Amino acid sequence: MKWLIILLLVPIGCTTTSEIDKVKIGMTASEVVELVGEPTEKEELIKLAGDGTTEMWHYGAEAIQVVNGTVTKDAALVNEEEAEALLLLTK
């Protein structure tokens, strides 16, 4: 009897763009982790005013901003701002 083996390549621990697009402003950090998993990198941003923690959570090429445990900028807004900043640097 011959067996046909099919290998499915499924990324483990990776977040797709469609998954990160489900993250919305106002979600809690735990809701984000439950939805798309732990970020590949957490970057603490410089505190300019007030108390609390501001972090940029990176998921591959996508990122969200989390302030005091709540999403304040979703991936689309963060990526738009990064694109604008790059345009300013190239001028």
Residue 84 within a domain: yes
Compute CA distances 16 → 39, 40, 50, 51, 76, whole Å.
Answer: 12, 12, 34, 33, 14
Flag whether the pTM goes above 0.75.
Answer: no
Residue 57 inside a domain? The answer is yes
Task: Tell me, yes or no, whether 7 lies in a domain.
Answer: no
Measured CA to CA, the distance from residue 11 to residue 5 in angstroms comes to 19
Q: Tell me if 66 is assigned to some domain.
A: yes
CATH no. for residue 38?
Answer: 3.30.1450
The number of distinct structural domains making up the chain is 1
What per-residue confidence (pLDDT) applies to 76?
77
Query: pLDDT, tens digit, for every residue of 53-85?
Result: 889 999 988 899 999 999 998 887 777 777 666
pLDDT band at 2 (very low <50, low <70, confident <90, very high): low
Q: What is the pLDDT of residues 25-58, one digit of tens each?
A: 999 999 999 999 999 999 888 766 666 788 999 9
Domain limits at 28? 17-45+52-90
Residue 3 resides in a domain: no
Asked if residue 61 is part of any domain, the answer here is yes
In a domain, 74, yes or no: yes
